[in-house]
Chains A and B, each alone.
Chain A
Amino acid sequence: MSAATAQRTQETPVPPAPPTSAVERVLKARSLGIVLALVVLVAVTAAANPLFVSGQSLRDIALSTAILAILAVGQTIVIITRSIDLSVGSVLGLSAYAAGSLLQAAPGTPIVVAIGLAMLVGAACGLVNAVLVRFGGVPALVVTLGTLYIYRGIAFFWAGGQQINADEMPGNYLGFGTATVLGVPVLVLIAAVVLVVAGIVLGRYRAGRDLYAIGSNPDAAVLAGISVGRRLLAAFVVSGALAGLAGALYAARFGTVDAAAGTGYELNVVAAAVVGGVVVTGGSGTVWGAALGALLLTVINSALPVLRIDQFWQQAIVGALILLAISTDRVLTTRLAAQLRRRNSHGR
């Protein structure tokens, strides 16, 4: 699909116009759409039940978004390069269990060390993915589908059916999961830092722009002298490390860890990115959008029960939203391309 389908619209020539402006406009329209949807959803839900905008409720939503958003940021970085990382759910499970076991064995471990270990485990998983993709010549979908099974298997093997309960985790770590600074949960602050750093690097720095170049046209990127291999390696390692970070936060937030933690997350994460305007064919999309996508999915999940809509509708709505998001993008892009073409011909 992809390469071919993407070309299909492009082969009707739009050469002179800088395509980035069209893409940017679509993205802006997209972000605006999500924000609008969020505002409407929150307003309607709050009207039905004012408690939806109470401090506790907002904190819960922010906490749930934080973990999904961190994963979505990592996923975006990989998808931009025209790859995908389906192993994130399993990496989360494995690293959460790693952090949990460390804390269980040595309750005095500083929080930073536990998080560091989880990120290290995640980065190692990401490195394995990257090496297989880069040096093994195996497509990312195949590699990460394979490691989705392998990392999960390792987690089950390691856990051997054990669960790490809240009473086996040190109190300061659980406290860290619920701690707040000026009323904002620490986990949310961590996610915000990750988001801002990733957003700036992708938007302003050479390393970030290279990723877009690689995803837009791999061959051209090579010719332009970009070290494609190193950048790809970095993208997968970062995605792994962020999944590891999400694992550590998961352990702190939920207080109970078993080998199944994060099962099936990969689809939520890809969904968040796609809803947020990240194009699965690479080269386009921002982490800001992905984070907005994560927020929207979380708010929907929290709003449905409050609106007394049967929880069974939830998944169907998420699915419909993904289809709506990608179709809108396609329609907007086509229309903008047509507009630009007209403007160009008038100008001549």
Chain B
Amino acid sequence: MAVDVPSSTGTAGAAAPAPARRLGALASWEATIIALTVLVLVIASLTVDGFGDAGNAVFLLLDITPILLIALPMTLIVMTGEIDLSVASILGLTGAVMGSLWVGGMAIETIIPLCLVLGAVLGAVNGFFVTVLGLPSLAVTIGTLALYRGLAYVVLGSNAVADFPFAHTGWVTGTAGGGVVPNLLLPLLVAVVAFGIALHATPAGRGIVATGASDTAARFAGLATLRIKFTLFVLSGVVSALTGVLWALRYSSARADNGAGLELAVVAAVLLGGVSIFGGKGSLPGVVAAVVLLASLQNALRLENVSNEALTVVTGGLLIASVLAPNVLRAVRRRSASARASRAR
């Protein structure tokens, strides 16, 4: 990433340690975050009134959906050492376009695929600037963050479109057959599993990891790193657009400010999940656990009437701790090892 810091433990450290040790640290962080998530879920179900029942699980899933969906492609992008800050603006622009086409009288079944295509185009614009012009993705997507959100306002102004068909809005918020299984659960699981397999069990996934670990080396090894990155930006655009559609349907409300600021929450979840901001390191299960952890913590604290402020501080603290803790552990371990070594001498 552009913003790497010339610190000994950051960039320089990444190159030095043996791969085995790095894998060890990674696995332990992933295990930590998953364990932490399970712990929070168990404790919250036992001690927080109303957390464990089916109704709350549906709410929780609905709250998780946007961040989880966007976090999937974001994980892949960050793994290649890039970043996409425009995701929430793509979400907003898609929602705005969806709203204005609906008002224009188009059928919703036509609008939704069109919106996904729009997402692909917006993602391709990001990809073009990053891969063809070779510009840093941080700067590019800060630019498109403003551009796409601005276009959302141009499209919809301050109007809100609210009268989407109940068959669709009801499906998004509803459960299968009125039971306890939300309609969204299965598609979400499929998406998570598909991304997980793509990243961890296909040549494409290995290409992503290799690109992030060393762009130059990956290219020498014959990988089309630019093409990989371009495809990922398009994918991110499509998923963000899909999330924009779901967002508008879930809240029955298409507004230009839909999802504003969500990009930071997504990046926070991805980093908390153990993905290195420098690329080449991370795992999808860790990210999914981090998304669930943040959302359930938030849900539980709200039920306990803990203020919003505390949530904000906890989110920020966890984010820093996710990188700080392994570094500190490593330093302590190293120090004690060297102390042992010197004592043995």
Contact = CB atoms under 8 A, between A and B. Distances in A.
A157 B143 contact: no
Interface string A168-188: 000000000000000000000
Contacts of B144: 319, 323
A271 B139 CA distance: 8
B139 A218 contact: no
Nearest to A136: B324
30 contacts: A8-B134, A136-B324, A137-B13, A138-B320, A138-B324, A138-B327, A139-B4, A141-B138, A142-B319, A143-B320, A145-B267, A145-B268, A145-B316, A146-B268, A147-B320, A149-B268, A149-B312, A153-B309, A153-B313, A154-B309, A157-B309, A157-B313, A218-B11, A280-B136, A312-B154, A312-B256, A313-B154, A317-B150, A323-B144, A323-B147
B216 interface: yes
B83 interface: yes
Between B3, B271, B313, B315, the greatest number of chain A beta carbons within 10 A of the residue's beta carbon is seen for B3
Interface in A124-179: 132-134, 136-143, 145-150, 152-154, 156-157
Contacts of B142: 267, 270-271, 274, 322
Given A145-B264, A312-B150, A280 B145 contact: no
Interface in B314-340: 315-317, 319-320, 323-324, 327-328
A132 B154 contact: no
A1 to B, nearest CB: 5
Contacts of B268: 145-146, 149
A314 B152 CA distance: 11
A70 interface: no
A156 B313 CA distance: 10
A146 B272 CA distance: 10
B204 to A, nearest CB: 19
A315 interface: yes
A270 B324 CA distance: 25
A330 B140 CA distance: 12
A320 B154 contact: no
A214 B150 contact: no
A221 B11 CA distance: 14
Nearest to B130: A1
Interface of A: 1-9, 81-84, 132-134, 136-143, 145-150, 152-154, 156-157, 214, 218-219, 221-222, 228, 232, 264, 267, 270-271, 274, 280-282, 310, 312-323, 326-327, 330
Interface string B292-312: 000000000000000111111
B134 A137 contact: no
Given A136-B328, A139-B277, A327-B135, A1 B143 contact: no
Between A3, A147, A214, the greatest number of chain B beta carbons within 10 A of the residue's beta carbon is seen for A3
Contacts, number: 221
Interface residues of B, number: 66
A286 B135 CA distance: 19
B82 A82 contact: no
Nearest to B151: A316
B76 to A, nearest CB: 14
Contact of B146 (A6, A221, A280, A316): A316
A146 B320 contact: yes
A331 to B, nearest CB: 8
B145 A214 contact: no
Contact of A315 (B146, B278, B328): B146
Nearest to A155: B309
B267 A281 contact: no
Given A222-B6, A318-B150, A149 B1 contact: no
B99 interface: no
A332 to B, nearest CB: 12
A140 B11 CA distance: 12
Contacts of A157: 307, 309-310, 313
Contacts of B310: 153, 157
Contacts of A281: 2, 136
B107 to A, nearest CB: 27
A118 to B, nearest CB: 21
B145 A82 contact: no
A4 B216 contact: yes
Given A1-B1, A133-B5, A145-B268, A322 B319 contact: no
Contacts of B129: 323, 326-327
Nearest to B271: A142
Contacts of B7: 133-134, 137
Contacts of B130: 1, 5
A315 B150 contact: yes
B12 A140 contact: no
B170 interface: no
Contacts of A318: 146-147, 150
Contacts of A8: 134
Contacts of A147: 316, 320
Contact of A274 (B4, B134, B139): B139
Given A1-B137, A141-B3, 17 more contacts: A1-B82, A1-B130, A2-B2, A2-B138, A81-B5, A82-B6, A136-B328, A147-B320, A148-B264, A149-B268, A149-B319, A218-B5, A267-B142, A312-B153, A312-B158, A326-B129, A330-B134
B207 interface: no
Contact of A149 (B12, B145, B307, B316): B316
B320 A132 contact: yes
Nearest to B311: A153
Interface string B1-34: 1111111111111000000000000000000000
B143 A323 contact: yes
